[in-house]
């Protein structure tokens, strides 16, 4: 199945969806807050906030507690806006995919117009708050992230190329850079190293999911790599990206902004990640368990890596803030953020939805 034929099938599906949404699901005449919350893809939002918090944590500049809270909320709102606009545009795809058919728009709980307005307003609010509370650089990065995810990935790449996840992964990799920019007003090598880790993590993570959902993506006309290239080619690419990821994960230690403990954790977890990728490449097509194991472990892997960075820099920043005048309150808030991130580990590890 080539991209052109997929695009043609997708056009037919969009037409059928437009007709069925009028006849089967009338325009939403009532709504609930929970439906709008669902539009923001809360679990994906949490991933963005968590990695952005790490970017804030490793920055050399310490924000006060109120500014930190405003930055985190703005980044969360920006991620939620991107999710809502993604659901608005992808309503036709969501309606024919098993795992997304119960989202608010396909169910007729929220109209596409309502989702569009909600996403635009929430995104504008998020960018404005971040600009006022922190820096224009961070606000510009957040705006570019939302636009890239919606216009470049959702509206273009996702429907036209097998490299959709590879290129589109840049949007999900930007939160640590935004967090750093919110604190410093610029972009440096440290947040770019975190960007690279998430960027290389995204393809094996989502392809491992897509291997077990090939029929779903094919039915929706989405040219995910397993659909257009097959299982063997996909698992080879997973091994390649996993190897690059293992190397990139050592950058924080090699560049000196993470300690030896982080380097050891990255090496151990990376070895397991690569081992699972190799096992997947050697497994037979009927074996769905190996792909699922890699998918689940990839979530654990990213959480452990970024938690190690957060704890490492959290200790250093707490000592620095306590030694400064009036730093006790900021230290307490920072400690609560670090503890909260670790406390929410079960929620983070439940990100097994493949929100693409």
pLDDT digits (tens, 9 = 90+) for 24-83: 344 444 568 999 999 999 999 999 999 999 999 999 999 999 999 999 999 999 999 999
Helix (H) or strand (E) holding 196: helix 189-211
The pLDDT tens digits of the residues spanning 163-206 come to 999 999 999 999 999 999 999 999 999 999 999 999 999 999 99
CB 181 within 8 A of CB 59: no
DSSP annotation of 187 reads: -
Count of CB atoms within 10 A of residue 62's CB? 18
Contacts 24+ apart (CB under 8 A), 341-346: 341/50, 341/53, 341/307, 341/310, 342/307, 342/310, 342/311, 344/46, 344/50, 345/303, 345/307
77 in Cβ contact with 173 (< 8 Å):
no
* Residue 72 vs residues 3, 36, 76, 118, 247: alpha-carbon distances, Å: 39, 20, 6, 20, 29
Mean pLDDT (the chain, rounded): 86
- Packing angle between helix 289-323 and helix 42-58, nearest 10 degrees? 40
User: What pLDDT is recorded for position 68?
Assistant: 95
Map residue 282 onto helix, strand or coil. Answer: helix
Single out the residue of 107, 104, 109, 106 nearest to residue 91, CA to CA.
106
pLDDT over threshold 70, residue 1: no
CA distances from 109 to 24, 40, 97 (A): 12, 15, 17
**Rounded (10°) angle between helices 65-89 and 136-147:** 20
pLDDT of residue 174: 98
Neighbours of 41 (CB within 10 A): 22
Q: Say which residues have a Cβ less than 8 Å from residue 248's Cβ, sequence separation at least 6.
A: 193, 196, 197, 200
Whole-number Å distance between alpha carbons of 124 and 119: 8
**Could you give the C-alpha distances from 88 to 122, 154, 155, in angstroms and in order?**
14, 10, 11
The CB-side HSE value for 329 (13 A sphere, CA atoms) comes to 8
> Model's pTM, two decimal places?
0.84
Among 183, 132, 216, 166, which Cα is nearest to 317's?
183
Distance of CA 46 to the CA centre of its chain: 9
Structure tokens at 115: 């989702």
Nearest residue to 254 (alpha-carbon basis) of 267, 271, 241, 268 = 267
The pLDDT confidence band at residue 355, using thresholds 50, 70 and 90, is low
How far apart CA 292 and CA 212 sit, in angstroms, is: 8
Asked whether the predicted pLDDT for residue 20 surpasses 70, the reply is no
Range in 82-91, 93-102, 340-349 the model is least confident about: 340-349
Task: Give the pLDDT confidence score for residue 350 in this predicted structure.
Answer: 46
Q: What is the dihedral of CA 335, 341, 343, 349, to 10 degrees?
A: -170
Residue 345 clears pLDDT 60, i.e. is over it: no
């Amino acid at each position: 199945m080539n991209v052109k034929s997929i695009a043609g099938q997708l056009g037919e599906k969009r037409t059928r969806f437009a007709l069925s949404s009028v006849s089967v699901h009338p325009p939403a005449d009532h709504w609930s807050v929970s439906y709008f919350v669902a539009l923001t893809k809360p679990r994906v939002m949490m991933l963005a906030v968590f990695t952005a918090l790490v970017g804030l944590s490793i920055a050399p500049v310490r924000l006060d507690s109120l500014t930190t809270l405003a930055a985190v909320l703005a980044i969360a709102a920006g991620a939620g806006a991107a999710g809502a606009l993604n659901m608005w545009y992808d309503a036709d795809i969501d309606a024919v995919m098993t795992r997304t058919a119960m989202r608010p728009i396909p169910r007729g709980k929220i109209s596409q117009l309502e989702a569009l307005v909600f996403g635009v307003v929430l995104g504008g609010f998020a960018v404005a708050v971040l600009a006022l509370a922190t820096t224009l650089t961070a606000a510009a990065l957040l705006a570019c992230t939302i636009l890239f995810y919606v216009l470049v990935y959702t509206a273009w790449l996702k429907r036209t190329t097998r490299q959709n996840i590879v290129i589109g992964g840049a949007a999900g990799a930007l939160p640590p850079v935004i967090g750093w920019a919110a604190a410093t007003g610029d972009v440096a090598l440290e947040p770019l190293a975190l960007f690279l880790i998430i960027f290389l993590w995204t393809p094996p993570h989502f392809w491992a999911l897509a291997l077990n959902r090939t029929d779903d993506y094919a039915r929706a006309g989405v040219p995910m790599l397993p659909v257009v290239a097959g299982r063997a080619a996909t698992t080879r690419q997973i091994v390649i990206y996993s190897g690059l990821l293992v190397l990139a994960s050592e950058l924080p230690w090699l560049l000196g902004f993470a300690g030896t403990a982080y380097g050891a954790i990255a090496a151990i977890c990376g070895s397991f990640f690569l081992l699972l990728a190799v096992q997947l490449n050697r497994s037979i097509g009927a074996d769905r368990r190996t792909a699922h194991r890699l998918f689940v472990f990839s979530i654990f892997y990213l959480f452990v890596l970024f938690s190690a960075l957060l704890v490492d820099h959290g200790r250093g920043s707490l000592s620095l803030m306590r030694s400064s005048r009036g730093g006790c309150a900021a230290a307490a808030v920072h400690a609560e953020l670090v503890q909260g991130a670790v406390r929410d580990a079960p929620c983070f590890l439940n990100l097994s939805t493949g929100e693409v």
